[in-house]
Amino acid sequence: MKEILKSKFVKEMCSVTANMYRLGWDERNGGNISYLLTEEEVAPYLDLDKVIRKIPIGFEAKELAGKIFIVTGTGKYFKNVESDPETNLGIVRIDQKGDTAELLWGYKDGGRFTSEFPAHMMSHVARLKADPNNRVVMHCHPTNLLAMNFVHELDDRSFTRSLWQMCTECIVVFPDGVGVLPWMLCGNNEIGEATAAKMKDYRVVVWGLHGVYGAGKDMDETFGLIETVEKAAEIYMLTSHLPRINTITDDNLVTIAEAFKVNYRKDFID
């Protein structure tokens, strides 16, 4: 077997979590990531017939039966992932019933996956139906995006429009817009179901007064998606209290979207 700590997927998890912590998006144990892996990716590093232990999921995810994920652990700090991946990360496979995760590697201190695991798995189901190439779900607490929650209406259309108007690239990076949920208690199936419902239409879902969920085909795309939304929110927070002399108009937005041939939310344009 190859050394798993040298695998591309473990290295990516270490690198991305360290960067997210450095940016202040994942204070303490805030934030979590799940990354869908193929058997072909994992088999060179692990005996897929060796199950360390079984962990109840707390809901039924039959649509993900047999799927393998590398997931950040509950209560774990992103700043510690790089120095001790085997404690702070785990690789799990959803069993055939869909209600249990089989631990194949990691959580060596007896831990388990993030408390937001239901929201992640429900989001994976929704995104795989929308785009079979989506493999990453990422949750974090970007500072400016969270601040924007306190001074802006929390609805999909107006929130998206404000972000699109902050940077020319925004409508290109997230032409599908941003879904927004009201404040909800985290760590339960209810918020997972609400997030998954939004994920049918959006790759970015804002948890009101809490943080954001992003989904994409790989780590770079998902990180870049959230990074772009956060940059737009930062510009909004820097300028929202000032008189606006210039703006990106709706005509400008259409021109950008059509030039880059992206399928944008036309109902979000006046």
Q: Which residues are annotated as catalytic? A: 116
- For residue 243, give every residue at least 6 positions away whose Cβ sits within 8 Å of its Cβ, in sequence order, or none: none
Three-state SS sequence of 130-159 = HCCCCCEEEEECCHHHHHHHCCCCCCHHHH
Q: Give the number of residues written for the chain.
A: 270
What strands, in cross-sheet order, belong to the sheet with 89-94? 53-56, 100-106, 89-94, 68-72, 32-37, 136-140, 211-216, 204-207, 179-181
Per the DSSP assignment, residues forming a β-bridge with 55 are 101
Which token pair is 46? 């692990």
Q: How remote is the C-alpha of 195 from its chain's centroid?
A: 11
Separation between Cα atoms, residue 247 and residue 197, nearest integer Å: 32
Q: Tell which residue, 69, 90, 79, 91, has the closest CA to residue 29.
A: 79
